[in-house]
Amino acid sequence: MGLFNALAEWREASREKKIVRNRERGTCPACTGQGYYPLAVNEYMAFESADAYTCQQCSGSGLYADWERYQNQL
Ligand SMILES: [Zn+2]
Predicted pLDDT at 49: 59
**What end-to-end distance do the CA atoms of the chain give, in Å?**
30
Question: Which structural domain, as residue segments, surrounds residue 55?
Answer: 3-73
The proportion of the chain whose per-residue pLDDT surpasses 70, expressed as a percent, equals 78
45 CA distance to ligand 1 middle (Å): 18
1 CA distance to ligand 1 middle (Å): 34
13 CA distance to ligand 1 middle (Å): 20
pLDDT one-digit tens code per residue, 31-44: 999 998 765 555 55
38 CA distance to ligand 1 middle (Å): 11
Measure the CA–CA gap between 64 and 31, rounded to whole angstroms: 10
| Buried residues in 3-18 as b, exposed as e (16+ CB within 10 A) | eeeeeeeeeeeeeeee
How many domains, in total, are found in the chain?
Answer: 1
Q: Assess whether pLDDT exceeds 60 at residue 72.
A: yes
Predicted pLDDT at 4: 87
